[in-house]
Structure 1
């Protein structure tokens, strides 16, 4: 079991943070103007990323994400799952051909579609929390303020919403919400804060499911 990547989206549907650990291939850099500033140095547009060689010390090897296509097993709660076009954005050779901004939009589109489908089929009180394919499992935690924390992991991993909640209640609140230098609800700036990135990295690497 292992953890592949983490995305954070704000209430404007923009990806404001990205970090990964075990992926076979690094996403292609976003096109100029495709993502907000300071989302991740690893996927920043090449024209603006003059320090690519000196990217964050907390970047880690990407060596386990499989390239097999997945099949749906279930959907609905932490132990449930569903199939979507996100496979093309986060897994396999096709994902490597996508710029990061397209990948981020695809992942968000999948979440939005499945969340709306769950509410229509099961009622407004039902929450979409995860889905699983044969190649990966997606976990979702949404805050009252509209931030969406999305994690991709090995398909055999149990529900990780508690980990996303820990990231929100811990590093996110400490280094983003309470940080006067971070502009919240910004349409122009991400949240690639070194302390936040280091704290998230430490938390994820300390999990028993991290390999």
Structure 2
């Protein structure tokens, strides 16, 4: 059993935060103008002209997903620059850009939630669904934030973990932090303390490994 990734959406249906752990097939970076907010994740944000410069963030992923190689080799006595295939981009060639992936995840959750309410005929909540390869877990707050986690298919329900993330690191470092804009429409959750605290919490779970 293990945990793959976490998405957080605001009440405007925008993905404001993303983090992954044991995901084997990484999403492509979002395209320019794809609609993804700034600072959702350095690993999937659109590349900029200064993306190769060191970031001021003190937190680095142990899987080193926040950096990429250029795929350029300089050889003496040969052509000045020889372009080689980037292994990271090759591995991502058959995956969706992150902006499209985030929309699909939200669309699936929204459709299933509406279907559950219509079929049940009462106020019943949609909390998770399982496929042969993964399980999706959902926790929605009264303010409209949706915490969505993808885990191994054999994992039990993790809604209580998502509630713990909201009541712990999210309230502490995002909601109660005056420097973090809420409902920005242009900025994601850009807080190193939140990212590090969330990472410690998830890695400490018995289902993580």
TM-score grouping bracket, smaller chain normalisation: 0.7 to 0.9
CA contact (8 A) 1:141 1:164 kept: yes
**Equivalent position of 1:155 in the other structure:** 153
- Measure the CA separation in 1 of the matches of 2:108 and 2:93: 15
| Alpha-carbon distance, 1:46 to partner | 1.3
| Alpha-carbon distance, 1:94 to partner | 8.9
Deviates more, 1:21-30 or 1:110-119: 21-30
**Equivalent position of 1:41 in the other structure:** 42
Bigger Cα Rg:
2
- Normalised to the residue count of structure 1, the TM-score between the two structures is 0.80
Residue 168 of structure 2 corresponds to residue 170 of structure 1: yes
Number of residue equivalences: 181
Equivalent runs, 1:1-211 vs 2, <5 Å = 1-34=1-34, 35-47=36-48, 50-51=51-52, 56-58=59-61, 60=63, 96-211=94-209
SS of 1:167's equivalent in the other structure is helix
CA distance 1:127–1:183, change in 2 (3 Å): same
SS of 1:102's equivalent in the other structure is helix
CA contact (8 A) 1:138 1:150 kept: yes
| Alpha-carbon distance, 1:123 to partner | 2.5
- Measure the CA separation in 2 of the matches of 1:155 and 1:52: 38
SS of 2:17's equivalent in the other structure is strand
| Alpha-carbon distance, 1:59 to partner | 5.2
CA distance 1:133–1:140, change in 2 (3 Å): same
| Alpha-carbon distance, 1:37 to partner | 0.4
CA contact (8 A) 1:5 1:152 kept: yes
- Measure the CA separation in 2 of the matches of 1:49 and 1:168: 33
CA contact (8 A) 2:180 2:190 kept: no
CA contact (8 A) 1:5 1:22 kept: yes
SS of 2:109's equivalent in the other structure is helix
| Alpha-carbon distance, 1:58 to partner | 2.8
CA contact (8 A) 2:155 2:207 kept: yes
- Measure the CA separation in 1 of the matches of 2:149 and 2:50: 25
CA contact (8 A) 1:23 1:61 kept: no
| Alpha-carbon distance, 1:32 to partner | 1.2
- Measure the CA separation in 1 of the matches of 2:23 and 2:121: 36
CA distance 1:45–1:12, change in 2 (3 Å): same
SS of 1:141's equivalent in the other structure is strand
Gaps of 5+ in 1: 63-92
RMSD over equivalenced CA pairs, Å: 2.0
CA contact (8 A) 1:9 1:15 kept: yes
